[in-house]
Structure 1
Amino acid sequence: MRIAVLDDYQDAFRRHPNFQALAAHEVTAFTDTVKDPDELAARLAPFDAIVLIQQRSPLPDAVISRLSNLKFISQTGRNTYHLDLAACRRQGVTVSAGGAGDPSVTAELTWGLVLAALRHIPEEVGNLKAGRWQSTLGTRLRGKILGIYGFGRIGSIVAGYGRAFGMRVLCFGREGSLARAREAGYEVPSSRAAFFSVCDVICLHVLLTPETRGVITAADLAHMKPDALLVNTSRAPIIEEGALAAALLAGRPGRAAVDVFDDEPVLGASDPLIGMPNALCTPHLGYVARETYEALFGTAIDQILAFETGAPINLVELPAPR
C-alpha cells in the first residue's frame, strides 16, 4: 500500500521503533498541514491508506469523496469528530481508531504553564538574555484556590498537583465530573458563578464534542478575578469564539495560558492571543512527548498491519446510509 502520514511536524513516524514493520509499503510523511480541501484531496489522491495524528487534519466529504484509491484510515486516538464517517462508508473506506496517550503528559504541561505564567518565567528568561535583571513579581501557589473544570483523566491529575502545592482545589463541570470529584474528596462549589468568581487559577480539561463547544462563555470569564489565571490545554472551541481575547482585554481574567487555538497550526503569529502581553501561548504541545508518540504511532502501525491481513482492529462503526 501507499501510505500517507499527515501533519507529522517532527517527522517522527519514520523514527518509530516498529517502523520497519511497514517495509513492504511505501510511506510518505508530510511535515506540513494543508487546509484547503482541493489541495488536500490532490495531495492524498495517490494513497491507499492515511495515518492521522489526533485531529490535526479534518477529512470532510469534500476530500474523502475524491479519494478513489483510499481504502483505510488509521486514526491515532479514539476521537473521530473530524472525519465524515458517512462519506467513509459510502466510499468503502475502513476506519480504525485506537490508542490513547498518557494523561500525565498533558497534565504535566498544564502545570508547567501554571508555573510559567504565575512566575513570569518566559518573560524573565527573555529579559535576562537581553541583559536585564529581574523585572516582575511572581505569585505563589500555596494558599491559592485552584479550579478544575472537567474532572476526568487529566483534570484529576492536575487536581492532585494542586493539592501537592498546598492549594485549595474546587471542581466543576457536568454531573459526571462533579460525582467523580466528590468521590475523590474534592470540593464542589454551590454554583457555576461561584466557581468562576472564587478561583485564582482555573484549568480547563474538557473533551471537545458538539455538546461542549462553547461551554465556557463570556459570562463565565467575566466572573473571574482580575488577577486570576485561565489555563486551556484541551481544545480552543470549548471557549465561546472570541470570548477569551475579549475577556483578557477587559481584564477578567487578568491572564491566560493556552496551548490550543481555534485554527491550527498557527503560523506567522496570526492568532490574536499570541500578541497579547497577558497571554502565554504554546503550540499545542500537550501530548507532544516521545512516549506518547511512540504509543500512538505503535497503535497506528498495528492497525495498518491488521487491516492488511484482513482482520482490522479498533474498528469505528460507520453510520448506515440514509
Structure 2
Amino acid sequence: MKIAVLDDYQDAVRKLPCFSLLEGHDVKVFNNTVKGVGQLAARLSDVEALVLIRERTRVTRQLLEKLPKLRIISQTGRAGSHVDIEACTDRGIVVLEGVGSPVAPAELTWALIMAAQRRIPQYVASLKHGAWQQSGLKSTTMPPNFGLGQVLRGQTLGIWGYGKIGKLLAGFGRAFGMNVLVWGREASQQAARDDGLNVAESVEQLFADSDVLSLHLRLNDETRGIVKLSDLQRMKPTALFVNTSRAELIEENALVAALNRGRPGMAAIDVFESEPILQGHALLRMENCICTPHLGYVERDSYELYFRTAFQNILDVLGGKHDSIANPKALTPALSR
C-alpha cells in the first residue's frame, strides 16, 4: 500500500522504532508543509493511506475530490474539525482515530510557566549579547521591577478547563505551593471541588484573581473566541496568561491588544491561528510574550505513542479489524473483510 506521512517538520518519524511496522509498504514522509489544495493533490495523487500529524494539514472535501485512490486516513490522536469526516464517508474513506497522552502538553505548559515567571528566555537572550543579569522588560508601562521575575509559591494558578491536562497542571501547582483556582463547565467545577480545589465564582473572578492563568479547553463552535479582550484586561499587570490549547479560543487580535495595554503583563503561547507562523507575526515581536512552535506533544514518547497507534490502526483495518474507525459507514467491501 502507498502510504504518506505529512508535515514531519523534524524528519523524526522514520527514526522512530514504530516505523518498522510499515515495512513492506511504500511509505513517503514529507518534511515540508504545503497549504494549497492543488499542491497537496499533486503530492498525494497516488496515495492510498494518509497519516496526519495532529491538525497540521486540513483535509477538505475539495481536496478529497482530487484524491481518487485514497482509502484510509489515520489520525495521530483524535480526529478533529480539520478533517471533513462527512466528505470522507461520502467517498468511502475511513478515518482512523488514535490515542494521546496529557503528560507532554501538561509538562510543556508548566515549563512555559516557570520560564516566563523567572524571565528565563529574556535573560538567556540578553546573556548571548553580553548583558549580565539583564532581562529587558523595562518599559515605563510595566510594573516596577517587572523584569526581575518572581517565584510561584503563594501565587494563584487559574485553570480554565479541568480535563486531563488541567488536572495534571493543578497537581504541579499544588506541588509548587500555589493556590489553584478552577473554572469550567459544571462537571469540571464539581470534579475540581471533589479534588479539594477552589472554584471561581465567575469567569471574571478567574481572570481578576489569577497570577498565572492557563487555558485548557477543546476548540468547538461553543468555545471559539470564548476569551475576550475584556477578560484579558481584567488580569493584573504582573499576571501571566498561558495558552497551549488552541489559538482560536481567544478573540482575534485580543491578546496582542491586551499585552500592548499591559494587562496581562506577560504571555506564553504555544499555538497560533495558522501554523507554521510567519517570522513577522505580532506576538514574536513582543518582548513580554514567550512563543514556542506548538511543542505541546512534540517529544519522543508522545511521538512513539501517536505513530505506533496510527500505523497499527492501518494494519488492523487492512486485516479486517475496525475498532479505530471514526466513520464506519465509509467501509467499502475491500476494507470490510
| Cα pair 1:170 1:186 within 8 Å, conserved | yes
| Cα pair 2:160 2:184 within 8 Å, conserved | yes
Runs of 4+ in structure 1 off by over 6 angstroms are none
My pick for the range that moved more, 228-237 or 124-133, is: 124-133
Aligned partner letter, 2:59: L
Give, in angstroms, the shift of residue 227 of structure 1: 1.2
Matched residue, 1:127: 126
Matched residue, 1:64: 64
Aligned partner letter, 2:199: V
Q: Distance in 2 between matches of 1:204 and 1:140?
A: 20
State which of 208, 214, 221 in structure 2 corresponds to 1:203.
214
Matched residue, 1:118: 117
Q: How does 1:175-186 map to 2 (within 5 A)?
A: 175-186=186-197
Q: How does 1:5-154 map to 2 (within 5 A)?
A: 5-100=5-100, 102-135=101-134, 136-154=147-165
Q: Distance in 1 between matches of 2:128 and 2:232?
A: 34
Aligned partner letter, 2:307: F
Cα 1:173–1:167 shift into 2, 3 Å: same
My pick for the range that moved more, 251-260 or 74-83, is: 74-83
Q: Distance in 2 between matches of 1:244 and 1:112?
A: 21
Deviations 1:9-40 (A, max 9, x none): 12222122132221211100111111112211
Matched residue, 2:138: none
Matched residue, 1:2: 2
Matched residue, 1:311: 321
Q: Distance in 2 between matches of 1:49 and 1:125?
A: 44
Q: Distance in 2 between matches of 1:108 and 1:88?
A: 35
Give identity over the alignment, percent: 50
Give, in angstroms, the shift of residue 92 of structure 1: 1.1
Q: Distance in 2 between matches of 1:46 and 1:79?
A: 23
My pick for the range that moved more, 290-299 or 235-244, is: 235-244
1:222 aligned to 2:233? yes
Give, in angstroms, the shift of residue 178 of structure 1: 0.9
Match of 2:148, SS state, is coil
Q: What is the number of residues matched between the two proteins?
A: 318
Q: Distance in 1 between matches of 2:280 and 2:313?
A: 36
Give, in angstroms, the shift of residue 179 of structure 1: 1.3
Gaps of at least 5 residues in structure 1 are none
Give, in angstroms, the shift of residue 319 of structure 1: 7.3
Match of 2:198, SS state, is coil
Q: Distance in 2 between matches of 1:208 and 1:271?
A: 22
| Cα pair 1:88 1:318 within 8 Å, conserved | no
Match of 1:18, SS state, is helix
Matched residue, 2:302: 292
Match of 1:28, SS state, is strand
User: What is the Cα-based RMSD across aligned positions, in Å?
Assistant: 1.4
Match of 2:170, SS state, is helix
State which of 171, 190, 202 in structure 2 corresponds to 1:160.
171
Aligned partner letter, 1:34: V
Q: Distance in 2 between matches of 1:312 and 1:94?
A: 10
TM-score by length of 2: 0.91
Aligned partner letter, 2:38: D
Give, in angstroms, the shift of residue 318 of structure 1: 6.0
Aligned partner letter, 1:256: A
Q: Distance in 2 between matches of 1:283 and 1:108?
A: 15
Matched residue, 2:293: 283
Q: Distance in 2 between matches of 1:203 and 1:189?
A: 14
Gaps of at least 5 residues in structure 2 are 135-146, 331-337
Match of 1:295, SS state, is helix
TM-score by length of 1: 0.95
